[in-house]
Amino acid sequence: MITRKVTRKWEKLPGKNTFCCDGRVMMARQKGVFYLTLFLIIGTCSLFFAFECPYLAVHLSPAIPVFAVLLFVFVMAMLLRTSFSDPGVLPRALPEEANFIEMEIEAANGNVLAGQRPPPRIKNVQINNQIVKLKYCYTCKIFRPPRASHCSICDNCVDRFDHHCPWVGNCVGKRNYRYFYLFTLSLSLLTIYIFAFDIVHVVLREYRNFFEHVVSLTPHCTVLEVLVCFFTLWSVVGLTGFHTYLISLNQTTNEDIKGSWSGKNRVQNPYSHKNIIENCCEVLCGPTYPSVLDRRGVMLEDSTSPTSSDASAASTHKSSNPVSQTTKSSAPLIPNEHTPDEAKPSIGAGTQKSTSSPKEEKPPSPTSPNAVAPAVIKESAH
């Protein structure tokens, strides 16, 4: 008796994400820095719980380790939630939708003379009396919604794209931005907490040594913790402050870095409520958006699709094999957008994407893996 193996949709998703737990967990491909983050947090806290907490619980208050545990649990929960969840990935357009959009574009552009570059694919929409340009994504074959951007590391368009964070091993977008913010905020508090109580511990020890004529050495771990906390403090607290500023203005890191809403001749931010409290409430207390990627849905044989693109079958096979190329990111915060200038779709055939190059050279037809996969349920005859 051979059991039928069910193929779930996450196995056929294009993009460079890795999935765990049968599609429940979704992360970027490079996870090295994420493991470092885990190691630093768990390592430092373990040292704190092992060496400082017994002393402080006895000599000061047992509430200190209790609060530290709660804070640690909160930090880990927020980190894992940020890292493992779908940041708001927009699925690629299926062939019919892509063709429909192409036809609309051709109709809008009219006749382009041979040898001439076609005009850039941009749609203008009016949002709250400001004109916002929507760019066309050649990889995903859609006009990106406002505030969405294409992450070249994960090779996905992400809604309300903030940045790709290697420390959490995932993009930060609409769905996980608040968890990311709470992670940085709680990590700042935890770092300050551990740093402060390390100092208190050292002071108390020396005080006791002085008054009780006892010699006891400050453990080396305390010194280690102080060092880690000191360096972490500057970066994490700074990052929390930066994101608090962004939230109060209802901006994303991507928009801030590109200067979308700054400058005299630029458009004012049409998404801001012009009120700090309202902006904070919208970002932090807004609705919890669902994932539109049905990762755990079961793949079915699509018998109604009239598409005849043979390339799609070949490219589906290609996309299901993990691509061996890895794009190592060296910069800590990498806002990414993949726009091709006004490149013709037929120019270039490179499939390697480097993180720093802004130009996309992928031709849309042969390598697009957004096909409807036929016959995916592997049924064994019994």
Q: Which residues bind another protein (CB under 8 A)?
A: 73-74, 77-78, 81, 90-91, 93-94, 96-97, 100-101, 103-104, 106-108, 125-128, 132, 134, 142, 145-147, 159-160, 179, 182, 270-271, 281-282, 284-290, 292-294, 304, 306
CB of 96 to another protein, least distance (A): 5
Structure token digits, residue 319: 């996309």
CB of 336 to another protein, least distance (A): 19
DSSP β-bridge partners for residue 149:
158
CA distance 159 to 229: 33
Structure token digits, residue 87: 């940041």
Among 137, 151, 165, 229, which one carries the catalytic annotation? 165
Query: Among residues 339, 178, 158, which one has the least CA distance to residue 258?
Result: 339
Cβ-based neighbours of 193, under 8 Å, separated by 6 or more = 67, 68, 71
CB of 288 to another protein, least distance (A): 5
Nearer to another protein, 75 or 343 (CB): 75
Nearer to another protein, 77 or 192 (CB): 77
Cβ-based neighbours of 189, under 8 Å, separated by 6 or more = 71
Q: Is 165 a catalytic residue?
A: yes
Nearer to another protein, 13 or 236 (CB): 13
CB of 378 to another protein, least distance (A): 23
Nearer to another protein, 8 or 81 (CB): 81
HSE-up of 145 (CA within 13 Å, CB side)?
Answer: 13
Query: Among residues 221, 183, 181, which one has the least CA distance to residue 202?
Result: 221
Q: What is the DSSP string of 96-133?
A: HHHHHHHHHHHHHH-PPPTTSPPPP-EEEEEETTEEEE
Nearer to another protein, 214 or 285 (CB): 285
CB of 13 to another protein, least distance (A): 12
Strands 142-143 and 149-151: unpaired
Structure token digits, residue 60: 């000061």
- Which amino acid type is present at position 27? M
CA distance 58 to 176: 40
CB of 348 to another protein, least distance (A): 27
CA distance 85 to 34: 14
CB of 92 to another protein, least distance (A): 8
Nearer to another protein, 106 or 206 (CB): 106
Q: Residue 196 burial by CB count (10 A; 0-12/13-18/19+): exposed, middle or buried?
A: exposed
Question: In what side-by-side order are the strands of the sheet with 156-158?
Answer: 89-90, 156-158, 149-151
CA distance 321 to 336: 25
Active site residues: 165
